[in-house]
Chain A
Amino acid sequence: AQSVTQLDSHVSVSEGTPVLLRCNYSSSYSPSLFWYVQHPNKGLQLLLKYTSAATLVKGINGFEAEFKKSETSFHLTKPSAHMSDAAEYFCVVTAMDSSYKLIFGSGTRLLVRP
């Protein structure tokens, strides 16, 4: 069965420093992977997705993620954090059965210090 593990429940960075949010996946097949962001009291928004094309995926707001099959990882990065990046981030994989449902990780809360 497909699953994702987000290795950190909280990540704290200073404004202007790099962001790294870690995600490992488990899948018998080549998966589709996503990162979603949830700002406080808001719905989720798609940041980026990987669907077996380029392994380095660029998303909105300067975020990108790299699919590494050998490491079964899909870490999210950003060169320079902004205060507005403070939010909850979810790594997501699609189920490989006919439902194609989204399977969410447990989330990583990103805190950005001034």
Chain B
Amino acid sequence: DTAVSQTPKYLVTQMGNDKSIKCEQNLGHDTMYWYKQDSKKFLKIMFSYNNKELIINETVPNRFSPKSPDKAHLNLHINSLELGDSAVYFCASSQGDIPSYNEQFFGPGTRLTVL
């Protein structure tokens, strides 16, 4: 049983296309996150949702739109894909939104390649 799952695992697409990455967690957590890891392994938070409400929204282009239909799902939709969007995207979840108290559990990642 995978705690945090992401689909697809790999995504190869052309510039200008629109794509979505799905994330589901079966841990009963109330907070979910999207992180971007670039080619140099640098990892940075993009968004965070707590009980389906957006609580962290970093300086991310408007082409990125997260959607949380329920507490167990946080999807990431990307419009007009650019070469610079190529990265590994990680979903994570936690019970509560304070890392000092609440461990974040990460999914396996989605490797997005924009050609």
- On A, residues with C-beta under 8 Å from B are 32, 34, 41-46, 49, 51, 88, 90, 94, 99-102, 104, 106-107
Contacts and interface: CB of A to CB of B under 8 A. Distances in A.
Counting chain B residues whose Cβ lies within 8 A of the other chain, the interface size class is: 20 to 34
B45 interface: yes
Interface stretch (B12-20, B71-79, B103-111): B103-111
A106 B41 contact: yes
A94 B108 CA distance: 22
B75 to A, nearest CB: 17
A60 to B, nearest CB: 11
A43 B106 contact: yes
B99 A34 contact: yes
B115 interface: no
A100 B56 CA distance: 9
A90 to B, nearest CB: 7
Given A43-B108, A101-B45, A51 B40 contact: no
A104 B106 contact: no
